[in-house]
Structure 1
């Protein structure tokens, strides 16, 4: 029987990922099987989870997924001893209007699964107020249980004692306090954490985090606070159709943002995934019947992509007879040109007329609900696709036929409609699920 726990916080940037990785590795070092999940639309944290646990991690999302899908995904924790769901943003942060089974808030997942919440609180610049924040989160929503608190970036023993006593008076358990420790900070990038595969020392970094947390946190008490959890094996609840039988998937440092549950769903449906690297000037496998370019960081590699004539020519040749789809960064690469942050324009593949620029950065962030006006690989006209958009590029031109009518989570129509031309399609949002 597994023990389930949600790791959350009052806000982003307080140490949820570091604590999740440290707990996972520390318990794994004790011989426990640990399964992680990520609440919300994040493509990067699951790779860190896998590095810490040795087990694949996937996203669960209450705005985009129904309960059957979430039950199916979390059922992979059946054979684990400990199951950790890492939250996103603050505990109750989601969108204003509910989606399929919630607002996308971490609290939705905690309540749905019946797992208590371990709060990470950074009390920098405050003391007893940290206890007031914890008490407010504990009492804000019936059905969401608080296991206790771990403090992060505590300034001194005196600082720790002030917060500890205030938490005790509020009836909240404090499992430990972490002093500031720069050696376990994960590098940042404008879209979040640097990817796990980009860090040669990720194993030693997680080991150091596990050692540090084990020294300052009562791991046994945290484990006892987790909820006993024995789910029934779930039938396949993923409503996902593969884009093809043999899928050529761009996969390297420029094309890496793809949700693990999507790849698993494609394989479960019998599809074969054939990775290739545009940065290595490779072309889609000739036997593939569709090519998929996920998002990533094409703007950091735009010069190399523009110089790789074999890749660009091979993709154009592929698209003459077979579908090619791009998401976010992949969509940009399907366009005519991409201007980087220094104002330098790089020629892309030209399968679509899209022109994008990072010279004038503007954040585009949020859930997306798209009604397809034309088919795209794996999805028919009229399909309602749920996804998430997060990028800093600006549309300079988007001249092709719109692929979809796209709304944000408030129901407002947005300009990022995606495009289609010939066999090429693209969207700025990353697909999470299709409505049933």
Structure 2
């Protein structure tokens, strides 16, 4: 549903945000929060094109954000482009009908909003353009780092090098439309590539790095080796990946305790993980300190596993190394300067191809391991060599970019999309512009 008419009439403008994925939802939320802080009377609504938009739950409950349009979980979790199997599963689950319903919803709502903001890739960009309204675009998934560094021998790398940008000509055409007033991408290299094709792209900072910071571990963990486990949140893949990561740590020897910080989202849950941990020999025990914010604790030899739902922002800055089969969270961890190792599986999200692309994007700050043995060997090397961790961490910080992007993008959205369009809509409706 749209906000009530009286709320729109009292506002300083209205914006509809389109996002297409879990990571995109998080980026959209941070920009929306910054917009709300900057302009509390601005009417904000969001349409998640993939999934159910659970990232927006708190904002919806607080009442300053509206959720519009149809939504549904997809079998691939929004990663149908990673495998043919995922694409077929999404098609069978009704993806074409869902996309059509969302498109009809956007066309129906377009006269009630001043502007639209697309967050993601081609799908939200096309929908924002097709609305006929002024729009902006935050291009989250693509970076020229994925083809400009590394071996670069694949057909895809040659194609991107030939055109000088990871974005494609049809995407340039939409970004270059006169109604597109803002194009923000994740790094300066990608922005330069787009500007060579006449797109006024900016790299105002990476919203993914906002609200994250390094921190000293609490006393309860000070004498432990600290490893952050990121298994993803899409079931059942997340549970399978958790098992593979934990099995890779079996036989890991250490003269000091090893703290495994498993930061999860809504899934996998404690009840889902308990049978797995029992099979692997872990025994439940009380957490070492309430200040850690752990939901549960298990011990197996020198290893102590802490489970924390929604604890990523708090725990990430404590880690020395990450073991990851996740997307956005892995990039955020590396952006803090903490190197990571990945162990790709069957997917649908975290496949070998996805992991290799992520590794190249991050300059090797996350290393893709082909087996549990290789992961265990690399982990030992990273824990033993602080200089290597520092070197890889510096690469990760450089590739992910600076924080503060949410505030800067919110300022640009306010200036380029809301102020001008708000006055235009008032003139169109026969009302004089405000002061």
- TM-score bin, normalised by smaller chain: 0.3 to 0.5
The structure with more helix, counted as a fraction of residues: 2
Higher relative contact order (CA 8 A, sep 6+): 2
Instruction: Flag the structure with higher strand content.
Output: 1
TM-score (norm 2): 0.34
TM-score for both structures, normalised by structure 1: 0.34
